[in-house]
Structure 1
Amino acid sequence: MTQDLIGRWKVWMPVDTVGIWIPCLKRRTFCTKVTQGRKDLILVPVDKRRSKVILNRTDHAQRAKGLLKDRQSHVPSATNPVKTLVREINATLWTLENSGALSPVDQRIARAQDTALARFYVHKEGVPFQSIVSLKGTPTYGLANLLFRRLKFLTANSDTTVSSSTQFFEKLKGLSLLPSDVAISFDVTSLSTPQELAVETTELLLRRTATDTPKSFNF
């Protein structure tokens, strides 16, 4: 079956015993047909790309369970913490709105509604093997969107920040490498940003742009 897929469609990643990577925006019907009625296959989204990955269901489950056994990163919870988290977030947002620090519109954007636990899945081959967590619809999703909108001006003039692949390609135009230059890439072993470091860095940037803050950051 794998060889048949290779012959019929162009894939974006090497095909192995784990799965096949397919751009499913144009191949959605194809992906559905491939997995329909196949209990041994599972279709999962690709991290930060509009594509899908067809995986062996048993292998996918084994890899996910292996990651969840790491007690340094994952701890079992006896109860569902979502209700408590939603209540705390919304209470904080109401307090900010009542104090005038947050507008009613921003309060509605950040408010947690109809939330669910984050979905956990995997699709990447090799070691280190990283988990992917879908945060859409979780209690902090609206709050994260609001913070992104309000804080993105802090990186507006950064030479090391790329907001899109289009901008990245523009930066590469006209760039040439010497024979002595070496191009390298780094494998990220930790996809989680330390919260204390994130807050500290944000506060530092806000202090540096204190003169522009009232115009750009209206909380």
Structure 2
Amino acid sequence: MKPLIHAVSHRLNRADRQRHYGHEGAVVWLTGLSAAGKSTLAMALEQKLSERGYSCYVLDGDNVRHGLNSDLGFSPEERSENIRRIGEVAALFADAGLLCICAFISPYRADRKKARQACRHAFHEVYVNADLATCAARDPKGLYRKANAGALDNMTGLSAPYEPPETCELILDTSRDSVSQSLEKLFEHVLQNVPLLSRT
């Protein structure tokens, strides 16, 4: 720790926050290629969990780069710094007692490992698996078209690597399953692993 920086102790502990929100704090980290379905699933999961009584929030790659990480580009070093910052922010959300849903390509295993290590609460890495051909066919932002035309450098899966998880808590095959099918699997995973606590 830096000599002039000192940790401050909160007056609320983990149990206090669990009683307040009715569940533990946790991070659900969705990783996968662009257009695999991460953001779609994250936003749908947030709504579905909120309707069930969870306190949750989505951190999405594009949204975060408009603010917190607007100073970062897409070099390997900047991508790592992007995920480092997000991992720390997600850990703070979880420590506050919220369920933080993260939707980031997060292409490097080492960076995802650091995000896991930053979280002192439950961390669930979810591989949103869709093959490159499927993602390129969807291409909602036109990124694959730009990359193939030479107008976009460092495109993950094409000119930049993506390292799929070697181990993770859940794999969703969005090349095969529909959004609703994938969402149901993701929702059930959260219900089983971050259950709502009894209010009685």
TM-score by length of 1: 0.21
- Structure scoring higher RCO (CA < 8 A, sep ≥ 6) equals 2
Q: Which has the larger radius of gyration?
A: 1
> Is the strand fraction higher in 1 or 2?
2
